[in-house]
C-alpha cells in the first residue's frame, strides 16, 4: 500500500502534517475528514520521488529575469483587482510562468501560504527573486488592503529600471565594439606586423626615434613577458574586486563614480530617481518613514547615497525633517531638497517625490540616449593618438632609411 504525506488544518485552524498508508489520495482525504481535519495537500511518496528525479542540475545557476518578474507582478496586480484570492492567483500564474525555476518558487510560495505564512513572509524566503523592496511593498499592500494598486506601482517602477538598464546596454554597445576592435587590431600589429619592421630596423643600424624604441620595447614585452602581463592584469582585477568588497574600498569607488565625468551625473540621477520612487511608493502604501528610509538605503546601489539616506533616520527621530540633513551632505541636487522641503510643509511628500522620480527618470533617459554621443569624441581622440604614434614609430625610421639609401 503506497505511503502519502499530507498537510491539513484541524478544528482550531492549526496546521498538522504527517504520513499515512492508503490505497489512494481520496482515501487519505476521507480519513482526514473523519478525524476532523481539512486537507491542504496530499502527495504520495512516489510522486515526490519522481519530482526529485526531474530536478535540472543546471537549475541552481539559472536566474529569474527582471522582465519575467515585472510580467508576474503586473499579472498579480490585475488578478488582485479582479478579486481573486491570493492562492488562486498563484495557482493561475504557475501556468503562465515560463522559467522552470521561477515556477517552482511560485509553487513553494503557494505551499508556504497554505502552511500559514503571509504572502510577504513566503516571498521573503526567496531573496534572490523577491528583494527587500519587493517584500516591503507586498507587506504594505497586505497591511493597507491596497495590494492591486501597490503591485501596479511596483511593476511600473521595475519596468522603468529594466528599460533604463536596456538603454544603457544599447548605448554602450558602440563603445564596446570600437574598443574591442582596437584591442584586436593592436594584438595583430604586435604579433604579425611590428616584428617585420623590428628586423628591418635592426639590419639598418640607424638611430631610432623615441616612439620607435617604445614600440620595439612594447613588442618585446608582448612576446617575452606575455605571461607577466596577463598575470598582472588578473592580479589587478582581483585586487580591485577585493578592495571594493571592503567597506572603505566600496565607499571610495562609489564616490569616484559620482564624481567621474559623463557617468557620474547619470549615476546620481539614477539613484535620486530610485530613492524618490521607492519613498513615494512605500509612503503611499502606509509604511512608516523609518522603515521607508531603511528599505530605500538598502535598495540604492551606491553606498555613498545609501549612507546619506540611512543617516536621515536620526534626523527623523529628532524631529528635524529630511531636507536640512540632505542639504548638509553636499551631494544631493538642490531640486530634490526643495521638493522634499515643500512636501514636508504641505504634507504631500509622496506626491512631491513622485514628481522628482518622474523628472529624474526623464533626465536619466535623455542622458543614456546621448551616452554614446558623449563617449564617441573621446574614442576618436584616443584612436587618432594611437594612429599618430604608430605612424611616427614606423614611418620615421623608414624615412631615415630612404634618405640614407638616396645618399
Helix/strand/coil for 7: strand
Q: How far are the Cα atoms of 66, 132, 154, 205, 404 from residue 125, in angstroms, in the given order?
A: 18, 11, 19, 74, 79
- State the sign of the Cα–Cα–Cα–Cα dihedral 331, 334, 338, 340: negative
% of the chain at pLDDT higher than 70: 92
The alpha-carbon radius of gyration of the chain (Å, integer) is 31
> CB burial class (10 A; 0-12, 13-18, 19+) of residue 351?
middle
CATH number given to 64-157: 1.20.81.30
pLDDT in tens, 206-252: 778 888 888 888 888 888 888 898 899 999 999 999 999 999 999 99
CATH superfamily, domain 263-369, is: Type II secretion system (T2SS), domain F (1.20.81.30)
pLDDT in tens, 165-202: 777 777 777 778 888 888 888 888 888 888 888 788 77
Residue 50: pLDDT over 50: no
Calculate mean pLDDT across residues 373-383: 83
pLDDT category of residue 53 using cuts at 50, 70 and 90: very low
pLDDT category of residue 339 using cuts at 50, 70 and 90: very high
Round to whole Å and give the CA distance between 45 and 190: 65
pLDDT in tens, 283-325: 877 778 888 888 888 888 899 999 999 888 888 888 778 888 8
CB 342 within 8 A of CB 352: yes
What's the DSSP call for residue 193? I
Q: What pLDDT does residue 407 have?
A: 56
pLDDT in tens, 106-135: 988 988 888 888 898 999 989 888 988 888
Round to whole Å and give the CA distance between 332 and 337: 7
Which residue has better confidence, 393 or 167?
Answer: 393
pLDDT category of residue 337 using cuts at 50, 70 and 90: very high
Q: For residue 132, what is its C-alpha cell?
A: 527587500
Helix/strand/coil for 17: strand
Amino acid at each position: 500500500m503506497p505511503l502519502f504525506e499530507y498537510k491539513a488544518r484541524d478544528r482550531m485552524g492549526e496546521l498538522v502534517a504527517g504520513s499515512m498508508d492508503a490505497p489512494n489520495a481520496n482515501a487519505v482525504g476521507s480519513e482526514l475528514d473523519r478525524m476532523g481535519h481539512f486537507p491542504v495537500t496530499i502527495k504520495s511518496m512516489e510522486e515526490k520521488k519522481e519530482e526529485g528525479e526531474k530536478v535540472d542540475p543546471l537549475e541552481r545557476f539559472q536566474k529569474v529575469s527582471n522582465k519575467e518578474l515585472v510580467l508576474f507582478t503586473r499579472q498579480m496586480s490585475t488578478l488582485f483587482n479582479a478579486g481573486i484570492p491570493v492562492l488562486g492567483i498563484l495557482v493561475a500564474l504557475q501556468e503562465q510562468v515560463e522559467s522552470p525555476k521561477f515556477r517552482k518558487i511560485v509553487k513553494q510560495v503557494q505551499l508556504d501560504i497554505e502552511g500559514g505564512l503571509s504572502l510577504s513572509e513566503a516571498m521573503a524566503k526567496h531573496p534572490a527573486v523577491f528583494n527587500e523592496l519587493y517584500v516591503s511593498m507586498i507587506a504594505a499592500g497586505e497591511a493597507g488592503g491596497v495590494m492591486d494598486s501597490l503591485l501596479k506601482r511596483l511593476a511600473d517602477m521595475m519596468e522603468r529600471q529594466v528599460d533604463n538598464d536596456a538603454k544603457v546596454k544599447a548605448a554602450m554597445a558602440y563603445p564596446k565594439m570600437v574598443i574591442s576592435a582596437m584591442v584586436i587590431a593592436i594584438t595583430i600589429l604586435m604579433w604579425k606586423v611590428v616584428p617585420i619592421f623590428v628586423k628591418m630596423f635592426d639590419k639598418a643600424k640607424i638611430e631610432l626615434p623615441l616612439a620607435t624604441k617604445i614600440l620595439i620595447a612594447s613588442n618585446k614585452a608582448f612576446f617575452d613577458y606575455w605571461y607577466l602581463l596577463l598575470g598582472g592584469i588578473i592580479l589587478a582585477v582581483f585586487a580591485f574586486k577585493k578592495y571594493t568588497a571592503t567597506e572603505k574600498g566600496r565607499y571610495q569607488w562609489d564616490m569616484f563614480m559620482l564624481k567621474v565625468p559623463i557617468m557620474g551625473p547619470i549615476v546620481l540621477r539614477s539613484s535620486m530617481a530610485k530613492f524618490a520612487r521607492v519613498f513615494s511608493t512605500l509612503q503611499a502604501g502606509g509604511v512608516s518613514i523609518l522603515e521607508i528610509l531603511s528599505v530605500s538605503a538598502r535598495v540604492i546601489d551606491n553606498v555613498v547615497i545609501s549612507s546619506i539616506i540611512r543617516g536621515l533616520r536620526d534626523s527623523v527621530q529628532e524631529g528635524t525633517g529630511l531636507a536640512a540633513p540632505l542639504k548638509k551632505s553636499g551631494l544631493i541636487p538642490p531640486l530634490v531638497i526643495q521638493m522634499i522641503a515643500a512636501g514636508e510643509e504641505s504634507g504631500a511628500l509622496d506626491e512631491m517625490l513622485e514628481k522628482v522620480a518622474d523628472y529624474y527618470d526623464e533626465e536619466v533617459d535623455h542622458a543614456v540616449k546621448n551616452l554614446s554621443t558623449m563617449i564617441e569624441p573621446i574614442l576618436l581622440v584616443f584612436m587618432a593618438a594611437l594612429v599618430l604614434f604608430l605612424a611616427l614609430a614606423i614611418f620615421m625610421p623608414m624615412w631615415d632609411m630612404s634618405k640614407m639609401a638616396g645618399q
